[in-house]
């Protein structure tokens, strides 16, 4: 990024003033100047022409110069699009076919427009509209689409389609080369294995869906409210308060008609969502939306068939082999002189050399994938890991971008109170007993002053603003701070019923109100942590309803407070408040807490708040500023009348209500600063460090607020403590996004934090530029992201970078992101199973990602790359021998090996040793975990490239030529001796080449070598049709085969030895 930024000298004051004038003139062209009539700072939404003239990548100097003098960078480095025949040949045909298929699918699966609906209670027959079944579905196929869908997925690969055409050609007598089973048996075996594998995966999905769909919900408490857990949706374990429709609490009985009819508007707090759990009480509700129309399902997309990058690369190599096949066949026909029906000879040569493209490639790779999946699930270091998609284990070794959720993925969503700061004194976890002592002293002193009454009041009943400022004792300040924390929240204590829960009335009357049976419910885990802390120091919240709450002091005294007003937390205000009246003293107090950025301008002047907030943030703590203001009865009555009047406004209601509340938020007394830690998952920091060292860029996508996301990014070391962070300011128009992107462009090596609404604006106008800049950042944090935004970001990275992406999450809001990524990982645990069920890989802890990628991903890719190239080598070498044979015998289109020899060569004689390469490893798992830098080489694709492929082609040509020419030179009288010598040397050469390729021997590899050699030797007695048994038992046969084999293999062993000595690979240095 730095090398693209022009450097300019510091401008003078005059230059700055001139720039400001030009800047003002530029923006004033879009509308009126600054003033009350101007709704936006820039107002550039409709001036797209002006913005097109003002390039995005321009320097500050660009504002000073004329348009022709702008110093710009390319706005979008997009390659020139191909047109015409060039475009069609280079992939346009595929694009057209895909577009047509997508159009047909959209027509068939067109979503129904949702309209207002009437629900008849107790009269389902009156409902005319049909609704979808209340079930979720993660299956890819149904009973009718399974076979066609699987066949389509197989034959869309060039390799399988090619062999289908070759096999069908054998029904034409003029083109028949050998027995039908030599072509159809391997193809049938490949399809059978694939269908069985897909059937097993599909059946497992069906079982998981059936298990989830069979879960029933518990059935509104008498109080007209309940709590739900949304961990299945968003991974958050805190409980959300839901309120019954007030009119339903006055109905005499269920299903009775009300006269007159009741009209009442509904809000989001009156709804319970599917895939949530009723955490307290019982619920009677009306089902409005089901199945595909529920929130959880609409946030997900249809599961797609994921294809690994390795499979795509091998598919490209098979196309290259096909071109070589056609070229070789044309050369043969040309050397024949196009004699006779040359086109028939051309097709026969195409069939003779068809083994250049080995049919066994697919079956070996598919069986290898199954083996990798089995190894992953059996790894005792990552217990509970499940492979749900067995076709892409190699993708784990090619990842460049890891997009992760925050809540429940990086964190446990369990808050722990860590710090209380009063300005002059700070209390940590090891000094909480001092707070407890101060609290006991404060309440004891209060009771003495009250003469045994139950009052806890320390301030006078006058407003605080009129009282003289007297320096209070530490005990008094601690008492005020703890009381404020204990009162300013939305927490409700809940007591579970004794024994089994029965009817609502019985359960309510039979509750255990002891401390051991009390749990706290709140919409935020931060709130629960604060209330639990006040309980630990002696001030306990014992009950709360919509109008009052009760606290218990260290001495057991019960304090009752009437809740007059509650102002909930919003992402815009970044604070919440409550007005309470002490029942014993009738004192009214307004308490407020919130983020430091929101509270700094509200509280009275101080010289410590900003510094201490920064210190706590660097420790990874989530900070809240707590303040209060005492109100007189007259002040509150005036506020209440204005507040109620604002709530009844028909226009700008929200703004008017906020203005009334802000009238109270002035010169509030700063009480304390609290620090809460969101506990990270085990070993999150070393895991993220390992992934960064492996060259993987990590993006955190979360629905949480900006401050929390930034705090977790620093505490988890996603962003290092010494690294700068650029917080993208909120933007609403194209002009604002334009300038903010320019400011971001000038930053060097800094992490990016951007809210979801600003991201939406940037992607709307400057998609390519934003992604290009963001990809250069060491880390990116996107907060306030919706599920669809998460999936959109994944797709943008895939389109703009062409790199492999991995998404990891634990809640239902992560499903779309997981399904859109090239590799999806779901975390299964107490946060829910929805993400785990929809993912390709399921794990139980975030720390398991390290071993899953560094060990299993790396080894799966390297093994499949070696296996795929070796299988192609096996086909190339026999095709080379066929070409030499045909050339020597006057370019005759006659097969060298027929019948069982060809089938046995691809199966019993070489299959086990070749497949044993799935057990090979270059370094031990411990080394791969210790040196994650080894993972970087995989993303470059060096294990499987055109370079390595050409090396194997040259090896195949050399060995095929040696084997065939050697057999032709050394045979004596009969042609059958040529077949015996060359085929035996071919089998031995393949076994020795497997040994040459192996880097770490496994005992099963030795067994596979001996088993294959034994099978071949034993079968010689039954191959009278192909071999002369008397000849193969002679010493002459043995020494000729040995000589040819040594000549074909020994040079390669020497070259490998020299390469390891002169230019050893990185892993060999670690192994030694």
Assess whether 366 carries a catalytic annotation: no
DSSP class of 823: E
Peptide bond into 754 cis (omega under 30): no
Angle of helix 946-970 relative to helix 858-888, nearest 10 degrees, comes to 40
Polymer length in residues for the chain: 1072
List all residues 6 or more positions away from 60 whose beta carbon is below 8 Å from its beta carbon. Answer: 8, 19
Residue 464: is it exposed, middle or buried by C-beta count within 10 angstroms (0-12/13-18/19+)?
A: middle
Q: Are 729 and 756 in contact (CB under 8 A)?
A: no
Sign of torsion over alpha carbons 624, 629, 633, 639: negative
Number of C-beta neighbours around residue 530 at 10 A:
26
End-to-end CA distance of the chain: 39
Distances (CA, A) of 695 to 117, 698, 864, 933, 937: 52, 10, 22, 7, 9
Residues 6 or more apart whose CB falls under 8 angstroms from that of 257 comprise: none
Nearest CA among 576, 604, 23, 508 for reference residue 223: 508
How many Å apart are CA 747 and CA 690, to the nearest integer?
Answer: 26
Question: Distances in Å between the alpha carbon of 872 and those of 798, 877, 974, 1012?
Answer: 30, 9, 31, 19
Measure the CA–CA gap between 935 and 932, rounded to whole angstroms. 6
Q: Are 460 and 469 in contact (CB under 8 A)?
A: no
Is the distance from CB of 273 to CB of 242 less than 8 angstroms?
A: no
Percent of the chain as helix, strand, coil, to the nearest 5: 50, 15, 35
Pairing, β 518-521 against β 540-544? unpaired
- Are 412 and 953 in contact by the 8 Å Cβ rule? The answer is no
In sequence order, the β-bridge partners of residue 566 are 578
Q: Do the Cβ atoms of 215 and 255 come closer than 8 Å?
A: no
To which residue do tokens 């400022």 refer?
A: 469
Cα–Cα distance for residue pair 31/37, rounded to 1 Å? 10
Tell me if 646 sits within 8 A of 653, measured CB to CB. yes
CA distance 678 to 418: 10
Residues 785, 788, 791, 797: is their CA dihedral positive or negative?
negative
Taking a C-beta distance cutoff of 8 angstroms, is the pair 870, 876 a contact?
A: no
Q: Which of 486, 485, 753 is nearest to 624 (CA)?
A: 485
Task: Assign 621 to helix, strand or coil.
Answer: coil
Q: How far apart are CA 318 and CA 322, in angstroms?
A: 6
Q: How far apart are CA 700 and CA 682, in angstroms?
A: 18
Q: What's the CA gap between 377 and 671, in Å, rounded?
A: 53
Alpha-carbon span 99 to 91, nearest angstrom: 12
| Residues 813/231, Cβ–Cβ less than 8 Å | no
Buried b / exposed e along 689-727 (16+ C-beta atoms within 10 A): bbbbebbbbbbbbbbbbbbbbbbbbbbbbbbeeebebbb
State whether residue 1023 is helix, strand or coil: coil
Q: State residue 675 phi and psi, 5-degree precision.
A: -130, 120
Rounded CA gap, 503 and 183, in Å? 70
Catalytic residue among 234, 405, 822, 840: 405
Please identify every residue annotated as catalytic. 405
């Amino acid at each position: 990024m730095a090398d693209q930024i022009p450097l300019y000298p510091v401008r003078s004051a005059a230059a700055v003033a001139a720039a400001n004038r030009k800047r003002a003139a530029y923006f004033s062209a879009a509308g009126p100047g600054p003033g009350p009539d101007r709704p936006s700072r820039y107002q550039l939404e409709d001036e797209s022409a002006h913005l097109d003239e003002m390039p995005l990548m321009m320097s500050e100097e660009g504002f000073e110069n004329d348009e022709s003098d702008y110093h710009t960078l390319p706005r979008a480095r997009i390659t020139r699009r191909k047109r015409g025949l060039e475009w069609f040949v280079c992939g346009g045909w595929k694009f057209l076919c895909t577009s047509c298929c997508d159009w047909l699918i959209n027509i068939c699966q067109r979503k129904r427009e949702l309209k207002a609906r009437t629900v008849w209670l107790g009269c389902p027959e009156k409902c005319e509209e049909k609704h979808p079944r209340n079930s979720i579905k993660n299956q890819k196929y149904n009973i009718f689409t399974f076979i066609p869908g699987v066949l389509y997925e197989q034959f869309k690969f060039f390799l399988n389609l090619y062999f289908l055409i070759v096999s069908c050609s054998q029904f034409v007598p003029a083109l028949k080369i050998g027995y039908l089973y030599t072509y159809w048996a391997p193809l049938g075996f490949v399809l059978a294995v694939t269908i069985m594998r897909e059937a097993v995966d599909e059946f497992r999905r069906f079982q998981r869906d059936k298990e989830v769909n069979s879960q029933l919900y518990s059935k509104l408490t008498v109080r007209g409210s309940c709590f739900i857990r949304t961990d299945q949706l968003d991974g958050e374990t805190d409980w959300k308060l839901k309120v019954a429709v007030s009119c339903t609490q006055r109905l005499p009985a269920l299903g009775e008609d009300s006269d007159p009819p009741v009209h009442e508007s509904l809000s989001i707090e009156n709804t319970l969502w599917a895939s949530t759990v009723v955490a307290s009480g019982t619920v009677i509700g009306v089902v409005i939306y089901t199945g595909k129309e529920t929130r959880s399902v609409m946030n997900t997309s249809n599961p797609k068939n994921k294809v690994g990058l390795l499979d795509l690369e091998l598919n490209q190599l098979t196309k290259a082999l096909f071109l070589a096949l056609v070229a070789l066949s044309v050369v043969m026909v040309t050397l024949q002189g196009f004699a006779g029906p040359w086109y028939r000879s051309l097709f026969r040569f195409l069939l003779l050399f068809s083994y250049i493209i080995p049919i066994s490639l697919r079956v070996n790779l598919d069986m290898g994938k199954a083996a990798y999946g089995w190894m992953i699930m059996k790894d005792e270091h990552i217990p509970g890991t499940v492979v749900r998609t067995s076709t892409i284990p190699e993708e784990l070794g090619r990842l460049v971008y890891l997009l992760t959720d925050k809540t429940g993925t990086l964190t446990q969503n369990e808050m722990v109170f860590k710090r209380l700061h009063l300005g002059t004194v700070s209390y940590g976890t090891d000094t909480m007993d001092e707070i407890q002592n101060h609290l006991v002293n404060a309440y004891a002193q209060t009771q003495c002053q009250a003469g045994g009454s139950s009052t806890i009041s320390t301030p006078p009943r006058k407003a605080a603003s009129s009282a003289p400022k007297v320096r209070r004792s530490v005990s008094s300040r601690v008492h005020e701070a703890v009381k404020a924390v204990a009162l300013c929240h939305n927490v409700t204590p809940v007591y579970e019923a004794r024994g089994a829960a029965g009817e609502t009335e019985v359960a309510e009357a039979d509750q255990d109100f002891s401390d051991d049976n009390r749990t706290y419910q709140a919409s935020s885990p931060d709130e629960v942590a604060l209330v639990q802390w006040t309980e630990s120091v002696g001030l306990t919240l014992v009950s709360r309803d919509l109008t009052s709450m009760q606290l218990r002091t260290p001495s057991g005294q019960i304090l009752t407070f009437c809740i007059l007003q509650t102002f909930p937390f919003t992402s815009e205000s970044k604070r919440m408040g409550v007005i309470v009246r002490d029942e014993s003293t009738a004192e009214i107090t307004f308490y407020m807490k919130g983020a430091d950025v929101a509270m700094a301008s509200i509280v009275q002047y101080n010289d410590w708040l900003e510094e201490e907030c920064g210190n706590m943030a660097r420790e990874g703590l989530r900070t809240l500023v707590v303040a209060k203001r005492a109100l007189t009865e007259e002040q509150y009555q005036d506020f209440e009348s204005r507040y109620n009047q604002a709530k009844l406004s028909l226009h700008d209601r929200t703004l008017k209500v906020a203005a009334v509340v802000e009238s109270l938020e002035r010169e509030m007394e700063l009480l304390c600063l609290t620090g809460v830690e969101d506990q990270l998952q085990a070993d999150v920091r070393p895991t993220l460090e390992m992934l960064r060292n492996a060259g993987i860029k990590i993006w955190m996508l979360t629905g949480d607020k900006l401050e929390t996301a930034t705090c977790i990014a620093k505490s988890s070391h996603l962003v290092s403590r010494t690294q700068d962070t650029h917080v993208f300011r909120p933007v609403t128009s194209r002009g604002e996004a334009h300038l903010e992107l320019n400011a971001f462009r000038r930053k060097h090596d800094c992490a990016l934090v951007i809210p979801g609404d600003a991201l939406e604006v940037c992607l709307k106008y400057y998609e390519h530029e934003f992604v290009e800049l963001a990809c250069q950042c060491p880390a990116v944090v996107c907060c306030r992201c919706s599920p669809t935004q998460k999936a959109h970001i994944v797709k943008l990275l895939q389109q703009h970078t062409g790199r492999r992406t991995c998404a990891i999450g634990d809640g239902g809001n992560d499903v779309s992101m997981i399904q859109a990524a090239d590799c999806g990982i779901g975390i299964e645990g107490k946060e829910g199973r929805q993400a785990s069920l929809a993912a390709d890989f399921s794990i139980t802890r975030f720390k398991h990602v390290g071993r899953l990628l560094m060990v299993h991903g790396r080894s799966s890719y390297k093994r499949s790359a070696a296996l795929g190239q070796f299988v192609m080598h096996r086909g190339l070498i026999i095709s080379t021998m066929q070409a030499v044979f045909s050339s020597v015998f006057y370019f005759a289109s006659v097969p060298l090996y027929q019948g069982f020899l060809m089938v046995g060569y691809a199966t019993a004689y070489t299959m086990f040793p070749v497949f044993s390469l799935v057990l090979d490893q270059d370094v031990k798992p411990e080394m791969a975990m210790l040196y994650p830098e080894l993972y970087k080489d995989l993303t470059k694709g060096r294990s499987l490239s055109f370079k390595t492929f050409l090396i194997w082609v040259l090896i195949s040509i050399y060995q095929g030529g040696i084997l065939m020419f050697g057999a032709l030179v050394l045979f004596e009288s009969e042609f059958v001796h040529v077949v015996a010598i060359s085929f035996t040397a071919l089998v031995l050469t393949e076994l020795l080449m497997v040994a040459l390729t192996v880097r770490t021997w496994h005992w099963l590899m030795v067994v596979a070598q001996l088993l294959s050699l034994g099978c071949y030797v034993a079968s010689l007695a039954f191959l009278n049709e192909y071999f002369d048994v008397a000849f193969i038992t002679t010493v002459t046969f043995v020494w000729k085969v040995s000589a040819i084999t040594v000549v074909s293999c020994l040079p390669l062993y020497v070259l490998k030895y020299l390469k390891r000595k002169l230019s050893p690979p990185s892993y060999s240095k670690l192994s030694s």
